[in-house]
Amino acid sequence: MPLPSFISMYQQLIAAPSISAIEDNLCMSNKNVIELLANWCETLGFTCEIIELEGGKGRFNLLAKRGEGDGGLMLAGHTDTVPFDDSRWNHNPFKLTELDNKLYGLGSIDMKGFFAFVLHAISELDEKQQTQPILILATADEETTMAGAQQICKHPNLKPARCIIGEPTDMTPVFMHKGHMSTAIRVVGRSGHSSDPERGLNAIEVMHKVITKLMFLKEQLKHKYSINHFEIPYPTLNLGNIHGGDNANRICGCCEMHIDMRPLPNYKH
Ligand SMILES: [Zn+2]
């Protein structure tokens, strides 16, 4: 099977819905996108490995490789898109539409379109002149849980020398990125009547101590680390959500807080 034209690959990728969402009713399998990519990669002489994500649900990663050994160049992207709001689209989101020299479609930029560019570029390379492996990695669930990326991290034999990730960056090459950690801290105390504090353990009061420590850490991070390539040059820590207790006259038995942290590359604390 010959490789379809650039625009045909682009159209087929956009026409294959692959929405990721936290809500189960919006979530889709990405299998159709993975199968398209695997077929095209095989046409270009790649060996394909399709890996189903742990926990099933029809999500797959694709790792395609042309050439032997370690090293080489990996071209990586995700196959899923966010859901779409019908009322805010002027075109069918699953039909690639050209208008004023721009292409519109769900995932056209972020980032199924990337694979059309990659495959078309590779089709124009002379395979005989290739001295190191080329890898194409297409992952699942980037827009929600990162489950695809997490699974590929466990791959026993994936050691490219360089990697290009085709996320949109307004045509500016981005060579480093902050990390992202989102987590919850839950304090479980002991509830009781507010008139007798000694019989309980107030989770909000304990959380107050946790927050004090976190605020100290936040300031430390801000003053200790800096990389000027970032618009916000220091690591950030955000207290995003807190909930605890049920009534003014009860000792709070449980308090939960959600935090978000964006560390700098090579950050060790
Ligand atoms: Zn993306």
CATH code 3.30.70.360 region(s) in the chain = 181-262
What spacing in Å lies between the alpha carbon of 142 and ligand 1's midpoint?
A: 7
Ligand 1 (ion): residues with CB under 5 Å are 110-111, 167
| Residue linked to tokens 């801290």 | 185
What spacing in Å lies between the alpha carbon of 111 and ligand 1's midpoint?
A: 6
What spacing in Å lies between the alpha carbon of 110 and ligand 1's midpoint?
A: 5
CA distance 48 to 114: 18
pLDDT level of residue 141 (50, 70, 90 thresholds): very high
pLDDT level of residue 1 (50, 70, 90 thresholds): confident
Return the pLDDT at 269. 58
Q: What percent of the chain is predicted at pLDDT more than 70?
A: 99
Query: Averaged over 15-27, what is the pLDDT?
Result: 92
Query: Averaged over 173-201, what is the pLDDT?
Result: 95
Return the pLDDT at 57. 80
List strand residue ranges (DSSP E) for 55-180, in order. 60-66, 73-78, 97-99, 102-104, 134-139, 162-165
Active-site residues, by number, are 80, 142
Residue 47, pLDDT > 70, answer yes
What spacing in Å lies between the alpha carbon of 228 and ligand 1's midpoint?
A: 24
Cβ(5)–Cβ(46) below 8 Å: no
pLDDT level of residue 183 (50, 70, 90 thresholds): very high
CATH code 3.40.630.10 region(s) in the chain = 6-165
Strand partners, 258: 184, 241
**6-165: CATH, from 3.80.10.10, 3.90.1570.10, 3.30.200.20, 3.40.630.10:** 3.40.630.10
Span 181-262: which CATH code? 3.30.70.360
